[in-house]
Chains A and B, each alone.
Chain A
């Protein structure tokens, strides 16, 4: 293979006495060690994961739209994002909760909003004959960016497609204040 002929060129009749050539073989072990060390180093230091991105579509701000239908209150869930990772949700339209249900304070996570979302989704589908739930997300000024991402993620997990991020109303800020979430 990668060896040179080092057989010293002897064999001729009455040949001169030659000094024996030394082998040209180099011990590559150290070099291999070094190379693998570097490979390992690079593999460990590079971030293999490329950035992941979540798509977010905001409702069109164009006021001139005419074909907009009013949101049916029976299928609407409004989620208010407060401070300290607290959520408040209620069904129905702003100012007039559906069937008088009081706004509920909730947490993020499996036992919190995710459970609520899944339950409500089924409930609304049953009540309205298979129609889908509409979710309005309203981040308040004291909520952090993470909350918005988290809630969108929960909606993705619960497979709720009709959703929008909307500006919070003053009355809803009052609501958050009342419950100590603002």
Chain B
């Protein structure tokens, strides 16, 4: 007796759904990923056991490395307003193109008098340009003092929130640079900082 043959099904599977899912995930990851911004100087963050996250807005990041201080603040609106305020303070007129360039800048460390030339550089040149760091001393007349002060004012006006100062320092940075920066900040009664660290487990 001939066996009843079960008709073979095709081995081709409908991949449409899988394809949909894959691309959905892909889109999700691309859209949620925040591009990693390069630090102007290599920064090797020290590790700590703290597990508190840094807020994503209302924060100014001071990058410290190679005895230089770099300043950056979150939020395009804040940056735009900040540059206008600083321009007014130092009597430097910035064009709209320059403002746009500045808004795209994550952090910078140049003298405000050289800021125009720096903003005019192409993206590639900006990367290669060795930034000298923001002029800083412990008195109330340094540019660093003004950048922080204006940023705090602008943020308070625009977002109705206190600007949080975060310090992103290099592990090997000697303490005097940090001390000077902290002193300059304390001049304007900023006594609370956040130190950006990597994560490590408590038990070694």
Chain B 157-193 interface mask (CB, 8 Å, partner A; 1/0)? 0000000001111111111101100110011010111
Q: Complex: how many Å from CA A167 to CA B18?
A: 62
- Name the residue of chain A whose CB is nearest to the CB of B13: A29
Q: Which residues of A contact B53 (CB under 8 A)?
A: 50-53
Q: Complex: how many Å from CA A180 to CA B48?
A: 27
Q: Are A54 and B195 in contact, CB atoms less than 8 angstroms apart?
A: yes
A117 to chain B, nearest CB (A): 13
Q: Does B204 contact A (CB under 8 A)?
A: yes
Q: Does A142 contact B (CB under 8 A)?
A: yes
Q: Are A148 and B175 in contact, CB atoms less than 8 angstroms apart?
A: yes
Selected from B18, B193, B194, B196, the residue in CB contact (under 8 A) with A32 is B18
Chain B 127-169 interface mask (CB, 8 Å, partner A; 1/0)? 0000000000000000000000000000000000000001111
Known: A52-B196, A144-B172. A153 touches B33 (CB 8 A): no
Q: Total number of A-B contacts with CB less than 8 angstroms?
A: 154
Q: Complex: how many Å from CA A139 to CA B64?
A: 17
- Name the residue of chain B whose CB is nearest to the CB of A140: B175
- The segment from A41-49, A69-77, A90-98 that touches chain B is A41-49
- Name the residue of chain B whose CB is nearest to the CB of A38: B26
Q: Does B51 contact A (CB under 8 A)?
A: yes
User: Which parts of B7-59 form the interface with A (CB within 8 Å)?
Assistant: 12, 14-19, 22-23, 25-26, 29-30, 33, 36, 46, 48-54, 56
Residue among A51, A139, A156 having the largest count of chain B Cβ atoms under 10 Å: A51
Q: Does B198 contact A (CB under 8 A)?
A: yes
Q: Does B199 contact A (CB under 8 A)?
A: yes
B201 to chain A, nearest CB (A): 11
Query: What does DSSP make chain A's interface, helix, strand, loop or mixed?
Result: mixed
User: Which parts of A32-86 form the interface with B (CB within 8 Å)?
Assistant: 32, 35-36, 38-39, 42-43, 46-47, 49-62, 81
Question: 10 shortest A-B CB distances, which residue pairs?
Answer: A35-B22, A28-B15, A53-B194, A146-B171, A53-B54, A146-B46, A153-B48, A149-B46, A42-B29, A145-B169
User: B-side interface residues toward A, CB under 8 Å?
Assistant: 12, 14-19, 22-23, 25-26, 29-30, 33, 36, 46, 48-54, 56, 64, 166-176, 178-179, 182-183, 186-187, 189, 191-199, 202, 204
10 A-B pairs, CB-CB below 8 angstroms? A28-B14, A52-B50, A52-B198, A53-B54, A144-B171, A144-B175, A145-B172, A145-B178, A152-B48, A157-B202
What 5 new A-B contacts, CB under 8 Å, besides A54-B48, A58-B186, A61-B191? A1-B16, A38-B26, A53-B195, A55-B193, A58-B191
